[in-house]
């Protein structure tokens, strides 16, 4: 029986992870659950899975969580704050850790799991974007196993040669073909994009995701962050990672070898596939995912992304080429800009405008340690908040009445 800690258990990744784990009660036990502030959902999860530990990053909610669990007769021990999240990432009785906390907030706990030498299933792409080389080094030093959960990077991992080592160029590989769904705005004109609302940006045509990552998909920043992630994980330069738009979301990514072979991983668009793969690797386990019907899927189409209308992708590619602190700066600026857009304070084209402004203002440099990464992150956020106000004043953000429910 393998113990598992699920960080970000109340999010989409957490839901899907717990669904897969529940299908194999003889193989896995949920030892710990961690969330930011969704107390009702965490209570329900604790009642169902009865973990040894539960952690809430918002410490002020911990007394209420303890009261509700006691009233339900659930003996789960409750931990508070970011320290609590980090603690459950290091538990010796939970050697498998799902790192599913969205954004920079998941960085410390992901690093903690790597230092503990655990099997680290990385759904928190920001940890690789912000401090990828540090994470790779920590994992290597502690003997941790890194397994990507993003559907694209998991697909790439499955297509890589067996001798691949995280952070090192894989033998015989020429390039990675990273597929993108294109999001909900692929066919929209630049003029129409200026009036895009948060609800429209979050209406992804294929995947069910949280609002922040849905907006990232709409701007193609999600794909840009994945370019950075792929460079870190697979030890390749940005020039060897090509983005192709694939609307059907059937081919999750491809790897081209020097002999001309191209290997692809295909499947229904369901996050339970990469989750089940990471839990079972190097074996396989049932995930609950519907079998792929290629006849029904029909034609598979690919096209190049438009870097003029979707500037976020181009900016992320620039950060990938620069390396060092540049990816952390881009990630921080994007998080601030997306939050402003979702709050109705910035229009959709304002997101790349804010990011570009921050990139030209905040100094980069080598990412020598976590302190420098976090300092660059903090400075980029400060500058981004200022840029949001300035850029919003130059354009019209969607009015609250236009934002939908």
Assess contact for 31 and 93: CB atoms under 8 A: yes
Strand partners of residue 40: none
107 closest CA partner among 131, 84, 89: 131
d(Cα 297, Cα 207) in Å, to the nearest integer?
A: 16
Predicted local confidence at residue 175, as pLDDT: 97
Sheet of 119-122: strand order equals 77-80, 53-56, 28-35, 2-7, 96-99, 119-122, 145-148
Which pLDDT does position 323 carry in this prediction?
94
CB 364 within 8 A of CB 311: no
* Domain extent listing, the chain: 2-149, 173-400
- The per-residue pLDDT for 404 is 40
For residue 209, the model assigns a pLDDT of 73
Q: Residue 246: is the preceding peptide bond cis (ω within 30°)?
A: no
For 401: left if phi > 0, alpha if psi spans -120 to 50, otherwise beta; the answer is alpha
- For β-strands 251-257 and 173-180, DSSP reports them as antiparallel
Residues near 382 by Cβ (< 8 Å), separated by ≥ 6? none
Helix, coil or strand: residue 373: helix
Torsion, CA 41, CA 42, CA 44, CA 47, rounded to 10: 180
User: How many CA atoms are closer than 13 Å to the CA of 215, on its beta-carbon side?
Assistant: 24
Q: H or E segment at 87? A: helix 81-89
- Contact between 120 and 139 under an 8 Å Cβ cutoff? The reply is yes
Same fold flag, 2-149 and 173-400: no
Kind plus residue range of the DSSP H or E element containing 175: strand 173-180
d(CA 319, CA 129): 10
Q: Which fold has domain 2-149?
A: Rossmann fold (3.40.50)
Per-residue pLDDT of the chain (405 residues; tens, 9 = 90+): 999 999 999 999 999 999 999 999 999 999 999 999 899 999 999 999 999 999 999 999 999 999 999 999 999 999 999 999 999 999 999 999 999 988 778 889 999 999 999 999 999 888 899 989 999 999 999 999 999 999 999 999 999 998 889 999 999 999 999 999 998 999 999 999 999 999 999 987 766 677 888 999 999 999 999 999 999 999 999 999 999 999 999 999 999 999 999 999 999 989 999 999 999 999 999 999 999 999 998 899 999 999 999 999 999 999 999 999 999 999 999 999 999 999 999 999 999 999 999 999 999 999 989 899 999 999 999 999 999 999 987 765 554 444 443
Tell whether pTM > 0.75.
yes
CATH code: domain 173-400 is 1.10.1740.10
Give the β-pairing of 251-257 and 262-266.
Answer: antiparallel
Q: What are phi and psi of 366, to 5 degrees?
A: -70, 145
Tell me how far CA of residue 262 lies from CA of 48, 238, 326, 403, in angstroms: 44, 19, 31, 43
336 within 8 A of 366, measured Cβ to Cβ: no
Q: Among the residues of 211-361, which ranges form H helices?
A: 211-219, 221-234, 272-280, 294-297, 311-322, 326-342, 350-361
Q: What is the pLDDT of residue 400?
A: 43
Contact 57, 81 (CB under 8 A): yes
What confidence score (pLDDT) does residue 405 get? Answer: 33
End-to-end Cα spacing for the chain: 44
User: pLDDT at position 208, please?
Assistant: 66
Measured distance CA(220)–CA(298) in Å, rounded = 25
- Non-local CB neighbours of 202 within 8 Å, separated by 6+ positions: 211, 214, 215, 218
- Report whether 366 contacts 376 (CB < 8 A): no
Q: What is the pLDDT of residue 401?
A: 43
Q: Are strands 2-7 and 96-99 parallel, antiparallel or unpaired?
A: parallel
Residue 13 near residue 126, CB atoms below 8 Å: no
Contact status, residue 364 vs residue 343, Cβ threshold 8 Å: no
SS3 for 294-322 is HHHHCCCCCECCCCCCCHHHHHHHHHHHH
């Amino acid at each position: 029986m393998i113990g598992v800690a699920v960080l970000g258990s109340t999010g989409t990744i957490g839901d899907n992870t717990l669904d897969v784990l529940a299908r194999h009660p003889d193989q896995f036990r949920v030892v710990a659950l961690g969330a930011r502030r969704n107390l009702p959902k965490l209570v329900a999860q604790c009642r169902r899975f009865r973990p040894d530990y539960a952690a809430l990053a918002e410490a002020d909610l911990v007394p209420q969580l303890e009261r509700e669990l006691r009233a339900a007769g659930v003996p789960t021990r409750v931990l508070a704050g970011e320290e609590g999240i980090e603690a459950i990432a290091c538990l010796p009785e939970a050697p498998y850790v799902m790192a599913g906390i969205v954004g920079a907030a998941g960085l410390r706990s992901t690093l903690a799991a790597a230092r503990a030498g655990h099997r680290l299933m990385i759904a928190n792409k920001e940890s690789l974007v912000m401090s990828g080389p540090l994470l790779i080094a920590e994992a290597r030093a502690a003997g941790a196993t890194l397994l990507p959960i993003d559907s694209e990077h998991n697909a790439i991992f499955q297509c890589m040669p067996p001798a691949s080592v995280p952070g090192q160029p894989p033998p015989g590989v020429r390039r990675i073909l990273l597929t993108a769904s294109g999001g909900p705005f692929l066919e929209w004109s630049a003029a129409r994009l200026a009036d895009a609302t948060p609800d429209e940006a979050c209406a992804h045509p294929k995947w069910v995701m949280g609002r922040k990552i849905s907006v990232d998909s709409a701007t193609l920043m999600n794909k840009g962050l994945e370019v950075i992630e792929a460079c870190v994980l697979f030890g390749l330069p940005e020039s060897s990672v090509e983005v192709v738009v694939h609307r059907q979301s059937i081919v999750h990514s491809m790897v081209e070898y020097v002999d001309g072979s191209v290997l692809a991983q295909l499947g229904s668009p369901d996050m339970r596939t990469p989750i089940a793969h990471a839990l079972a690797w190097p074996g396989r386990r049932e995930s609950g995912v519907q079998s792929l019907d290629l006849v029904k899927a029909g034609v598979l189409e690919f096209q190049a992304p438009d870097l003029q209308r979707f500037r976020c992708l181009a900016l992320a590619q620039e950060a990938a080429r620069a390396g060092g602190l540049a990816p952390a700066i881009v990630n921080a600026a994007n998080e601030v800009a997306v939050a402003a857009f979702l709050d109705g304070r910035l229009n959709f084209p304002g997101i790349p405008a804010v990011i570009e402004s921050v990139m030209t203002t905040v100094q980069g440099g080598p990412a020598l340690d976590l302190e420098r990464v976090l300092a660059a992150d903090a400075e980029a956020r400060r500058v981004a908040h200022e840029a949001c106000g300035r850029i919003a004043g130059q354009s019209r953000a969607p009015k609250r009445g236009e934002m939908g429910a």
